[in-house]
Structure 1
Amino acid sequence: MAKILNVSHLAKHYTSGTKELTVLDDITFDIEEGETFAIVGPSGSGKTTLLGLCAGLDRADSGSVALCGIDLSTLNEDERAALRNREVGFIFQNFQLLPTLTALENVIVPLELQGIKNPGKSGMDLLDKVGLADRSHHYPSQLSGGEQQRVALARAFSSNPSILFADEPTGNLDEETGERVVQLLFELNQEANTTLVIVSHDLELAQRNQRILRLRGGKIIANESTVHL
């Protein structure tokens, strides 16, 4: 299988007052196309920082990230944004829906950015898959947290991304709602055969992936396969 993400000797530091804080230290791993991959660790272990670097939302201080075969350090801001728009989907803990757009309009934003004509039908199909076709004209403020995250799921898959980054996708949901969202996430992912990278502190959710990368204090302490019977 081809590698969709190659991370090599990645490091990230922040300056706090007179102190330099190491957030990530010598991180190396890769992910194959179609793989489901979890990044876990306690708060402050560098999980979200690592996800941002892998997706090209931020730049590393040293080391390299190659996404879909392209070294992100060779791209400027606009080129990285274009690559994300083409290849990457996102799901965030706080949903990040646009409040002035309806559920359907939120779902089709990535398609419109790609210049796809008449994206409404595929947007409605996706809302139907997440059980929200009847809520397509509702605004985020009219939806529950679980419904907003299901809209975010539909949006993430709307442009058929090669890789999808999910940052604590159930972090703001109760257990039952979170389970529904996770089930939909894996169903949609299997159907689309997207590479899935989930950042979570939930070990149960992590175990549902094919591989788990464990971080502590900005370092990798394990990179292991999970056994699915």
Structure 2
Amino acid sequence: MAKILNVSHLTKRYISGTKELTVLNDITFDIEEGETFAIVGPSGSGKTTLLGLCAGLDRPDAGSVELCGTDLASLNEDERAALRNREVGFIFQNFQLLPTLTALENVIVPLELQGFKSPTRSGQDLLDKVGLADRFHHYPSQLSGGEQQRVALARAFSSNPSILFADEPTGNLDEETGEKVVKLLFELNQEAGTTLVIVSHDLELARRNQRILRLKGGKVIANESTVPL
């Protein structure tokens, strides 16, 4: 199986006042196409920073990231954005929907950017899959948190990404709603065959994936296979 993500000796530092903080220290791992992969660790362990580096949203101080066969260091800002538009989907803890667009419009934005034919039909089909066929024309402010995250799920899968990064996808949801969203996430992912990378502090969610990378203090303390629940 081909590797879709190769992370090698990744280090990231930030300046805080007069101090230099090493947020990630010599991180190395890879992910195969179609794999489901969780990154876990306590708050402040570097999970979200690592996700941003893997997606090319930020640059490391040392080490390399190869995403979908491309060394991100070889790309400028515009080229990295173009790669993300083609290959990457995102789901965020705080949904990140555009407030002035309806649910359907939010879902079809990535499709329009890529010049898809019949984006409206595709968007409607995806919203139907996540149980929001009666919410096409509702704005985010008219939707519950769980409904907003389901719109975000539909948007993330709309352009058939090769890899999907989910940063604490249930972090702002109650347990019951979060469970429904997780179930949908894995169903859509299995149907699409997308590589899934989930950042979470929720070990139960992490164990649903095929592999778990455990971080502590910016270092990898374990990289283990699981028997997904």
Under a length normalisation based on structure 2, what TM-score does the superposition of the two structures give?
0.99
2:129 corresponds to which residue?
Answer: 129
2-structure distance, mates of 1:192, 1:141: 29
Question: How far off is 1:228 after superposition?
Answer: 3.9
What are the equivalent positions in structure 2 for 1:51-62 lying under 5 Å apart?
A: 51-62=51-62
* 1:167 equivalent in alignment to 2:163: no
1:115 to partner: Cα distance: 1.2
Equivalent-residue separation in structure 2 for 1:139 and 1:18 (angstroms): 44
Matched, 1:41 2:62: no
Matches within 5 A, 1:58-137: 58-137=58-137
Q: What SS does structure 2 have at the residue aligned with 1:37?
A: strand
Query: Percent identity between the aligned chains?
Result: 90
Question: What are structure 2's unaligned runs of at least 5 residues?
Answer: none
Pairs aligned (count): 229
SS of the counterpart of 1:161?
Answer: coil
Unaligned runs of 5+ in 1: none
- Offset of 1:221 from its aligned partner? 0.1
Q: Report the residue type matching 1:136 in the other structure.
A: F
Q: Which amino acid aligns with 2:61?
A: D
Aligned to 1:9: 9
Question: 2: distance between equivalents of 1:114 and 1:145?
Answer: 28
Q: Deviations over 1:17-63 (max 9, x none)?
A: 11100000000000000000000000000000000000000000010
Mapped partners of 1:201, 1:52: distance in 2: 17
CA distance in 1 between counterparts of 2:95 and 2:168 reads 10
Instruction: Return the letter of the residue paired with 1:19.
Output: K
- Residue 159 of structure 1: how far off its partner (Å): 0.1
Q: How many angstroms does 1:117 deviate by?
A: 2.8
- The CA distance in 2 between the partners of 1:95 and 1:17, in whole Å, is 31
Q: In structure 2, what is the equivalent of residue 22 of structure 1?
A: 22
String of CA shifts for 1:88-142, please: whole Å, max 9, x gaps: 0000000000000000000001101101133000000000000001100000000
Q: Note closer, same or farther for the CA distance 1:228–1:98 as it changes in structure 2 (3 Å cut).
A: closer
Amino acid of the residue matched to residue 185 of structure 2?
L
SS of equivalent to 2:21:
strand
Question: Using the alignment, how far apart are the partners of 1:149 and 1:227 within structure 2?
Answer: 27
Normalised to the residue count of structure 1, the TM-score between the two structures is 0.99
What's the Cα RMSD here? 0.7
1:175 & 1:117 partners in 2: Cα distance? 38
Q: SS at 2:14's partner residue?
A: strand
Secondary structure at the aligned position of 1:170 is classed as coil
Q: Distance in 1 between matches of 2:112 and 2:215?
A: 37
AA of the residue aligned to 2:24: L
Matched, 1:227 2:227: yes
Q: Tell me the distance in 2 between the aligned counterparts of 1:183 and 1:166.
A: 14
